[in-house]
Structure 1
Amino acid sequence: MKLKLIAAALSLSLAACTSSSISQNTQANNIPEFVEPAAAVASNSTNVITLEQIMADPDWFGRAPESWYWGDDSETIFYKQKQLGNPLRDLFATSITAKNNGEKVQLAQHHVVSDTNAVLNRAGTHEVYSFNGNVFVKTLATQAVKQLTFTSSNEHNAMFLTNGDVAYRVGNIFYAHNLTTGQLVELANLQMSDAPQGVQEPSSYLAKEQHKLIDYIALEHRNAKLKQAQKEQLASGNNSISDTNFYFGKDNRVAHASLSPAGDKLVVSIAAAKSSRDSSDIMPNYVTNDGVIASEKVRARVANNRQYQEQLFVLDLKSGAQKALSYETLPSFDSDVLASVKAENYAREGKKYKSEKQARNIHVLQMYNPIKWSSDGKNVALMLEAWDNKTRWLATVDLTESTLVTQHKLHDDAWINWSFNEFGWVNDNQDNNSSLYYLSEESGYSHLYHKGLTGKATQLTSGKFEVSDVTLTKDNKRFIFKANKKHPGIYEVYQVDFAKNMAALTDLGGKNNYSLSPDESKLLIEHSTVTMPPELYVKDLAKSTPAMRITHTVSEQFLAMPWSAPSVVAIPSSNQAEPIYSRVYFPENFDKTTQKNRAVMFTHGAGYLQNAHLGWSGYFREFMFHSMLVQQGYVVIDMDYRASAGYGRDWRTSIYRHMGKVEVEDMRDGVEWLVENANVDEKRVGTYGGSYGGFLTLMSLFTDPDLFASGSAIRLVSDWAYYNHGYTSNILNTPADDAIAYERSSPIYFAEGLTKPLLINAPMVDDNVFFEDTVRLVQRLIELEKQDFETAIYPVEPHGFVQPSSWLDEYRRIYKLFENTL
């Protein structure tokens, strides 16, 4: 196919670029001192993109609105903005009709407007919220604010009870506060200890003899029993004394606790207090304020992590009853879901695995608000998950029988996503009509479902797109949500009703997040495009007029720069049916160069992350770096390889038990597409990436050594057994169960495959991917007598670099690598 036709079909949007001729040094092991391109040195013009500019403190190009939310009047917008030159944030207020960015809210007024976590009473006249550890009540009609507590404790989880009282939590104690009388009542005190046994009768031989022979001992025992009896009589005959203690045993902790709006029940999840950390889970910090090396505690490695479970209880705060909820009513609660995995690993050792049913370790899913009560406090639903990550249950609780009732079970032979687990109540104050909504990936994509407490569920949305951020309107008739329906990389806001009528509420393109106004008449939208950082917009839902922009925080200097707008291309895959969406940056006249182009492939981190979307990227420095490379004639590609977010369940789980295989296949497809469609020399393609991108840089260089001419691995993972449990065990199970998966997914096992120049950039105070990953890999490369690698260390940097000097040093080295090898 002709290059011109392809370029036209892709609707390439190319910024004007300045290319410079750079002399090439093909001696990869004799890299000279780096020299900035002559054009960059000779000119201060904004037409030239330099490393010094793009790696400087990002304040230079703007400080985007953060933590934005609606005011109570549905006319005012609040947002935070970083201060220039320091990490502090200011709170701003602006109107939906304002022509500027609004006014800074004085610190003395923050308690009045910092109500993003507010909960309304049933009448909708008042709201309660916590601010700086104290509880506040606001009268919405007058905006009068009353501070309810004045303590040094951290009061949180503030809510209205159905009787009008305000409830809140301090540690593991729950209180009810009467707004009229000011009376404070302790509802429950969750004790992590064994229940007191009272005065015990002597039981052993020696104790009985002591009581017989020593009058003093017998007298003390009698007096203790008298005091205990008097205390019990006093408590039973005096309403002013109540025992609100509930005991859960020593060495335990409260994992979750949720109070009923009726104030009469509490659902509690209890877990062992013992941490999974091993004493060896430490991180040395060499550059400290006192000059002494600090040994800092860090998270457990997945290889050390123990299995855990939580025990659920329902507490009756009126009667004092404490009843455990059994998981045995959950379907597949005892299935051996890892039988085939264990059998394969056993067989490798010459053993035979015998599968047996056994209760799985189950816990409340780690998510925001995983336990939800109906507004009248008569029903409660919760999201549960198995420790093996393969089953999720949405269950309600039969409060009469104290049993779990499964409303929905989602199983995946790979793993259940940590996203798309939203759920909530519909018509939750109607005894005979209460129902649930929830998200599920059972169709292959995250979609919205509705289900009565009996009967089957109804799927309200469908198609090859993902639904998230669901809001149910107050009239219980519509759901508003975010979805990438019209393109995998474009996120708009939609609505759907129970008749499955779906309509778009925005048509902005790019990437959009939203918040529905309190009166449900408008949307507050955070909108961005590939070349424009996020700004705030307001869309009036009653009008067909476009959304109106209300903030302007991007600097003129940034707007004047000649950024290269990448095209998002659907690259055909040679290994599966779906295309690989990619950002491709084309230099000017890329198809007319007399010499074939050189190219760089950037590989995003996180694994499960989307970067080939049409919004502003969290990799903004990389975006600017790519624009600089384009100015100098490079083609750049940034692929959403398999396992990236945004493309459904099967795309996500394609790496199950073998990370780094299908992704490298996709990277090869990307290189071959560049060769065929962008006039690229297949021998002059380099790659780089950080975190998961660093891991894939290693896997591509080690397992497909002819694919790239060179690569730079940043904050890399070299052995997945050293990474955390929450992420890694989803994909590879655990080393104890599935050593095969870890060995075929970890670059350190394939290091002998390195034949091309490798630059390793490693932060030393990285508590996410430990510096140990780099140290072990370097030692392995030394023992393999490899010479085509260099290591740059950054002593004060965490996983995400902070200091501009470190960013500049890192990218100078990456740029130098490409200049000398491509």
Structure 2
Amino acid sequence: MKQYLSLLLCGVGLAASAQQAPTLTVEKIMQDTRWIGTSPDRVFWGTDSKTIYFNWNPEQALADSLYATPYNQAAPVKTAPMDRARLMAIRRGRYNQPRTAIAYNLNGDIYLLNLKTGRDTRITHTTEYENDPVFSFNDQSVVYTSGDNLFAWDMADGGTRQLTDFTKGEKPETKKLNHQEQWLHAQQQTLFDIIKDKQEKADAAKAFQQSVKHDTLRTLYTGDREVEETRISPDGRYVMYQLRKPATGAQSTKVPSFVSASGFTTDIPSRTKVGDPQSSYASFIYDRVKDTVYPVITKDLPGIHDLPDFAKDYSHYDTVPRGVIVHGPYWSPGGTYALADIFSQDFKDRWLAIVDMNTGAVKNIDRQRDEAWVAGPGIDDPEEYGDASLGWLDDHTCWYMSQASGYAHVYKTDVTSGQQTALTKGNFEVQEATLSHDKKFFYLLTNAVHPGEKQWYRMPATGGEPQRITTMTGAHEVSISPDEKWIAYRYSYTNKPWELYVQENVPGSKPRQLTFKAQSDAFKAYPWRDVPVITFTARDGATVYARLYKPDAAKKNGAAVIFVHGAGYLQNAHKWWSLYFREYMFNNLLTDLGYTVMDVDYRGSAGYGSKWRTGIYRYMGGKDLDDEIDAVHYLEQEQGIDKNRVGMYGGSYGGFMTLMAMFTKPGEIAAGAALRSVTDWAHYNHPYTASILNEPYTDSIAYRRSSPIYHAAGLKGHLLMCHGMVDTNVHFEDIVRLSQRLIELHKDNWELAVYPVEDHGFTTPSSWTDEYKRILKLFDTYLK
């Protein structure tokens, strides 16, 4: 009996052991990502408002394919290859005013789709590349670009006419005769009958030509500038265009690739560095009726000559006029007003202004000034990020996004009276804003519930309390059907990758899940942690959000690791599936091994308003790093962590932060892994760096205190650096220069791992595996 009981208990023990979660390993986490499952991506609706399209890979193929599913059933079907290009092209097309037709570009030709009949008309069939079709001439023509010029296809008679004639170079000057030349000309006609006869015939031919009515097209000379962003008015009368003068003297970098198919080292052309000469811009209006051209006049915009506040730190700051970039115009429904979206090239101002199409004068409607840089949801410069969120409520009321309150919100302004009204308010951010076709509602994606959630709302266009439509905790990436009756969205939660859902676009409706492949059986076998988002108080009193991974009490080893997300302006202490999913899985592995892990949304992260976003202005590695060190102190004081056993790791901006921590905060970090790190901001790109640190030659103070290479002498603890050798974003040169600096400083507590075939974002599982095995070994060696 005792023997039987012993065997029975042994069997129970074996069964329990068999049900235990599988052990995580670096090899398992960093294998080809298809092991996790497949999530839908790039969701959009068909023109029928009944079919949902999305990229997906349930067959575990080498790449995603385009799938389709009717909104009222959950049976996605792969689209035919020959249909995919057309579907994607129609998605990017432009509607006419009554939304009965779409003009689109497919393979360099222009098409017109009649939504009532389904008929597709091919407008062009040429070897030239035609693009950017729009409706104009009161919806009677499709206007498109070929080369630099605009052409109009008449929907009634099928005829095509050229609207602009841009020509490189200067306008030839007609030579004027001086007094001597005029006298000699007259003498020749007096003396010689044949010269007199030829002149009379030429004058008669000219008079006849002038008497015959025919179309003429003004030549628009661009000099040494290039044509950009050409837009035509709804009635076809005005063409507003922008000319860009490329910078001269800007030197582009080259990234050598050592492991190539040819067996020879090749150079990859890359980018310029921050502070290199920038292109200049000028905008013009072409009045086709009056056949005149005149500039858009921006010199009188309020504050356009203002110096930045940091100029007071320098006696040599140049007071040159600030350049601007004009985007638009965006026309009011009746075509009465043209709204321009104007950004200063020093990143500190944005103006919304009405352009007088008859004179080129601009009338300021709203000025957004930030002594750091103007940005935020729906506000970023369209040159870099696409059209901003703005439009018209009626023929005299425009709407737009602004961070005037400190958070991104929706505003409206009556352009006749100048009266401005905030339509949304509160200490939260409107992530997206879309005006309904009938202009009765705004559809909003906001984090009003919690900074770590994204929920969908409907709000009257006049303002008022938004009504929540989505309800699940996490994030929703929403696509509205053309008839606006339905929404399809990707949804995810902290430990659940993205799946596709559909529901009616009204409050109180219920979601229905359409895909079920985001988690494979192998992935679901492990109980991924539902990591809580906690808060702690920074040294300056600010509330900081963070994810906190806590090991079981029996496994807790007293050591901690700080993970620092990259990208700077990005959010990771949230309740949806992380962009840093590999790091999320690695943090689960670390927690299984007894480490306490913390993932902080430090100063500069997205989702918390403009003050948080600009907290790193002129000092990267300042308040943002203070937040990370305050997190270390929180772990020591609140979670019982040994202050001598704290590690840190991160990539890109996270790698930069790890370097700054180990160079400037001695003793706080015992071991750090800095991956693909910026080591000297003077060697990074212009758009990102100049907005935060200005330029190296105008604000050297900001660059010196923000660049790790200047602080390398302070290295304490054990440092691992990893970098791809074909990184076209943060160049391998960055880590090489820092390595030389460490050698000259006689530091011996660091090592460098290089990856010969990797760019900024690694793509090869073996590289990911090697890198993270080294990180784990670093922590196990110096923290355990």
Q: Same fold (TM over 0.5)?
A: yes
Partner of residue 58, structure 1? 33
Letter of the aligned partner of 1:286 in structure 2?
Answer: F
Letter of the aligned partner of 2:369 in structure 1?
Answer: H
Task: Work out whether 1:245 is the aligned partner of 2:209.
Answer: no
Letter of the aligned partner of 1:176 in structure 2?
Answer: A
Structure 1 residue 359, shift from structure 2 partner: 2.7
2:402 to 424, 427, 440: 440
Structure 1 residue 193, shift from structure 2 partner: 1.9
Separation in 2 of the partners of 1:717 and 1:354?
27
Separation in 2 of the partners of 1:267 and 1:296?
36
Task: Work out whether 1:562 is the aligned partner of 2:527.
Answer: yes
How many aligned positions are there?
753
Q: 1:275 to 1:129 in 2, by over 3 A?
A: farther
The answer to whether the 8 A contact 2:615-2:624 is kept is: no
**Which runs of 5 or more structure 2 residues have no equivalent in the other structure?**
1-16, 380-387
Letter of the aligned partner of 1:579 in structure 2?
Answer: T
Q: 1:394 to 1:512 in 2, by over 3 A?
A: same
Partner of residue 495, structure 1? 458
Separation in 2 of the partners of 1:292 and 1:464?
56
2:443 to 480, 491, 498: 480
1:690 to 638, 651, 672: 651
The answer to whether the 8 A contact 2:231-2:241 is kept is: yes
Separation in 1 of the partners of 2:188 and 2:767?
76
Partner of residue 25, structure 1? none
Q: TM-score, normalised by structure 1?
A: 0.86
Separation in 2 of the partners of 1:165 and 1:446?
37
**Which runs of 5 or more structure 1 residues have no equivalent in the other structure?**
1-41, 347-352
Partner of residue 7, structure 1? none
Partner of residue 616, structure 1? 577
Separation in 2 of the partners of 1:227 and 1:167?
41
Q: 1:110 to 1:290 in 2, by over 3 A?
A: closer
Structure 1 residue 414, shift from structure 2 partner: 1.3
| Bigger mean CA deviation after superposition, 747-756 or 468-477 | 468-477
What are the Cα deviations for residues 382-431 of structure 1, in whole angstroms up to 9, with x where unaligned? 11111221111011101233211111001111111164323433244x4x
Q: 1:240 to 1:643 in 2, by over 3 A?
A: same
Partner of residue 296, structure 1? 268
Separation in 2 of the partners of 1:222 and 1:734?
66
1:117 to 73, 92, 95: 92
Separation in 1 of the partners of 2:335 and 2:401?
23
Partner of residue 504, structure 1? 468
Alignment of 1:267-416 (within 5 A): 267-274=240-247, 277-278=250-251, 281-303=253-275, 305-337=276-308, 340-346=309-315, 358-364=320-326, 370-416=328-374
Q: 1:760 to 1:514 in 2, by over 3 A?
A: same
Separation in 1 of the partners of 2:605 and 2:208?
64
RMSD, aligned α-carbons: 3.1
2:230 to 243, 257, 264: 257
Separation in 2 of the partners of 1:156 and 1:376?
25
The answer to whether the 8 A contact 1:762-1:794 is kept is: yes
Separation in 2 of the partners of 1:406 and 1:212?
56
What are the Cα deviations for residues 561-617 of structure 1, in whole angstroms up to 9, with x where unaligned? 2222211111221223x311111111222xx56x74222111011111101111111
What are the Cα deviations for residues 106-126 of structure 1, in whole angstroms up to 9, with x where unaligned? 424642564112222223222
Highest RCO, 1 vs 2 (Cα 8 Å, sep ≥ 6) = 1
Separation in 1 of the partners of 2:88 and 2:629?
53
- The DSSP-based 3-state class of the residue aligned with 2:473 is coil
The answer to whether the 8 A contact 1:362-1:385 is kept is: yes
Separation in 1 of the partners of 2:196 and 2:87?
58
Separation in 1 of the partners of 2:257 and 2:314?
38
Structure 1 residue 798, shift from structure 2 partner: 0.9
The answer to whether the 8 A contact 1:276-1:300 is kept is: no
Structure 1 residue 462, shift from structure 2 partner: 0.8
Q: 1:262 to 1:665 in 2, by over 3 A?
A: same
Q: 1:232 to 1:447 in 2, by over 3 A?
A: farther
- The DSSP-based 3-state class of the residue aligned with 1:479 is strand
Q: 1:228 to 1:447 in 2, by over 3 A?
A: farther
Separation in 2 of the partners of 1:651 and 1:752?
30
Separation in 2 of the partners of 1:285 and 1:214?
71
Partner of residue 766, structure 1? 727
Separation in 2 of the partners of 1:472 and 1:458?
16
Separation in 2 of the partners of 1:710 and 1:60?
31
- The DSSP-based 3-state class of the residue aligned with 1:696 is helix
Task: Work out whether 1:178 is the aligned partner of 2:154.
Answer: yes
- The DSSP-based 3-state class of the residue aligned with 1:328 is coil
Task: Work out whether 1:166 is the aligned partner of 2:145.
Answer: no
Task: Work out whether 1:74 is the aligned partner of 2:32.
Answer: no
- The DSSP-based 3-state class of the residue aligned with 2:632 is helix
Separation in 2 of the partners of 1:689 and 1:204?
78
The answer to whether the 8 A contact 1:758-1:789 is kept is: yes
1:195 to 171, 192, 201: 171
Q: 1:709 to 1:259 in 2, by over 3 A?
A: same
Q: 1:282 to 1:202 in 2, by over 3 A?
A: farther
The answer to whether the 8 A contact 1:564-1:630 is kept is: no
The answer to whether the 8 A contact 2:238-2:357 is kept is: no
The answer to whether the 8 A contact 2:724-2:759 is kept is: yes
Q: TM-score, normalised by structure 2?
A: 0.90
Structure 1 residue 493, shift from structure 2 partner: 0.9
What are the Cα deviations for residues 612-637 of structure 1, in whole angstroms up to 9, with x where unaligned? 11111111111111111122222111
Separation in 1 of the partners of 2:117 and 2:522?
44
Separation in 1 of the partners of 2:761 and 2:456?
31
The answer to whether the 8 A contact 1:426-1:436 is kept is: yes
| Bigger mean CA deviation after superposition, 418-427 or 497-506 | 418-427
Percent identity, please: 34
The answer to whether the 8 A contact 1:341-1:737 is kept is: no
Structure 1 residue 739, shift from structure 2 partner: 0.4
Separation in 2 of the partners of 1:611 and 1:283?
30
Letter of the aligned partner of 1:270 in structure 2?
Answer: L
Letter of the aligned partner of 1:394 in structure 2?
Answer: L
Structure 1 residue 244, shift from structure 2 partner: 4.3
Task: Work out whether 1:743 is the aligned partner of 2:701.
Answer: no
Letter of the aligned partner of 1:342 in structure 2?
Answer: A
Structure 1 residue 520, shift from structure 2 partner: 1.4
Alignment of 1:699-714 (within 5 A): 699-714=660-675
Q: 1:766 to 1:109 in 2, by over 3 A?
A: closer
Task: Work out whether 1:517 is the aligned partner of 2:491.
Answer: no
Letter of the aligned partner of 2:740 in structure 1?
Answer: Q
What are the Cα deviations for residues 141-179 of structure 1, in whole angstroms up to 9, with x where unaligned? 232222222223322211112142111112211111112
Structure 1 residue 675, shift from structure 2 partner: 2.0
Q: 1:307 to 1:146 in 2, by over 3 A?
A: closer
The answer to whether the 8 A contact 1:610-1:640 is kept is: yes
The answer to whether the 8 A contact 1:604-1:690 is kept is: yes
2:631 to 670, 674, 689: 670
Separation in 2 of the partners of 1:484 and 1:507?
12
- The DSSP-based 3-state class of the residue aligned with 1:654 is helix
Separation in 1 of the partners of 2:532 and 2:197?
86
- The DSSP-based 3-state class of the residue aligned with 1:782 is helix
Separation in 1 of the partners of 2:199 and 2:375?
56
1:541 to 493, 499, 505: 505
Q: 1:238 to 1:775 in 2, by over 3 A?
A: farther
The answer to whether the 8 A contact 2:51-2:71 is kept is: yes
Separation in 1 of the partners of 2:484 and 2:340?
27
Q: 1:225 to 1:537 in 2, by over 3 A?
A: farther
Separation in 2 of the partners of 1:514 and 1:335?
40
| Bigger mean CA deviation after superposition, 542-551 or 743-752 | 542-551
The answer to whether the 8 A contact 1:302-1:721 is kept is: yes
Separation in 2 of the partners of 1:227 and 1:674?
96
Structure 1 residue 214, shift from structure 2 partner: 13
What are the Cα deviations for residues 285-333 of structure 1, in whole angstroms up to 9, with x where unaligned? 2222222222232211013x22543111111123321111221231011
Partner of residue 452, structure 1? 414
Structure 1 residue 55, shift from structure 2 partner: 0.9
The answer to whether the 8 A contact 1:764-1:795 is kept is: yes
Letter of the aligned partner of 2:516 in structure 1?
Answer: H
Structure 1 residue 184, shift from structure 2 partner: 0.6
